Amino acid sequence: MGRPMAEHLIDAGHTLHLSRVKEASRHLVTKGGKAAHSAKAVAEASDIIILMLPDTPDVEAVLFAGGDGVAFGLSAGKLVIDMSSISPVATKDFARRIEALGCDYVDAPVSGGEVGAKAASLTIMAGGKDEAFERARPLFEKMGKNITLVGGVGDGQTAKLANQIIVGLTIEAVSEALLFAKRAGADPAKVRAALMGGFAASRILEVHGERMVKETFDPGFRIRLHRKDMTLAVDAARALDLSLPNTAATQQLMNAAVANGDGERDHSALIRTLELLAGGPR
């Protein structure tokens, strides 16, 4: 997702310094991006530093590891924006450490997947100080449409986990409904079409329901990554002494999906795990 997001910023006329340019992102350099040899070098050359990484340890490493992290290239007055989906607790710690250097920090995870990243239509959920958010807003507007300052640092990550709970549980519900229809002898495609005209209609029934019916599971958002987010939600709930039983159950189903080799498939492929629990395809 980071590649199309970066491309939108370049197209808008911003100068981007890029860490870890790989073959798949070489076109960003061709378009005017500048390859840097480290995250530290990016921070030294930039007023605003944006991270888009898979998981909490990755963000910590890029920010602080080995003398080449972002923190080692910062000077007072710069802004760090983390658009990854990671732990709200760790986010608050990272922000504290960056702010101690005289810089601002905004967490701004996104929803919308690769399709939304390419279309610059991402939903962006931000946490941070008002003035830091307003400084970041013009960049967010080049990457997304629904942009909200939820609250202080970490609240963006909390909102993203809430989003992932809703999406995960709804995918699981649609999977159960279409599997039920199939086993009962009805045509799942026609059942889905009927449900789209009623109160059960949803974006997930529309998009992911179609993928389930057609069994096309090329990833928009991988089960492996959604499992990571659901695990973060379960861990945060435990720290809050909060019971989220259906979140935990769906996280376990995603564990099974990864164990069964579906971790790189789209999260709509969760229906395959339920089908295995029901004795396999018939």
Q: 16, 101, 31, 24: which is closest to 64 by C-alpha?
A: 101
pLDDT tens digit string along 173-223? 999 999 999 999 999 999 999 999 999 999 999 999 999 999 999 998 999
Q: What's the pTM?
A: 0.92
pLDDT of residue 69: 98
Concerning whether 22 is annotated as a catalytic residue, the answer is: no
pLDDT of residue 56: 96
Q: State the catalytic residue, choosing from 78, 92, 160, 228.
A: 160
* Integer Cα distance of 82 and 87 in angstroms: 12
**Cα–Cα distance list, 186 to 81, 192, 197, 279, 280 (Å):** 49, 10, 17, 18, 18
Burial of 142 (0-12, 13-18, 19+ CB in 10 A): middle
The rounded average pLDDT for each run of 10 residues, N- to C-terminus, in the chain (282 residues) is 96 96 93 96 98 97 96 98 96 98 98 92 98 98 98 98 97 98 98 97 97 95 96 95 98 98 97 95 70
pLDDT of residue 282: 62
Please report, to the nearest 10 degrees, the dihedral formed by the alpha carbons of residues 235, 152, 84, 28 taken in order: 180
The domains found in the chain, sorted by start residue, are: 2-151 (3.40.50.720), 158-277 (1.10.1040.10)
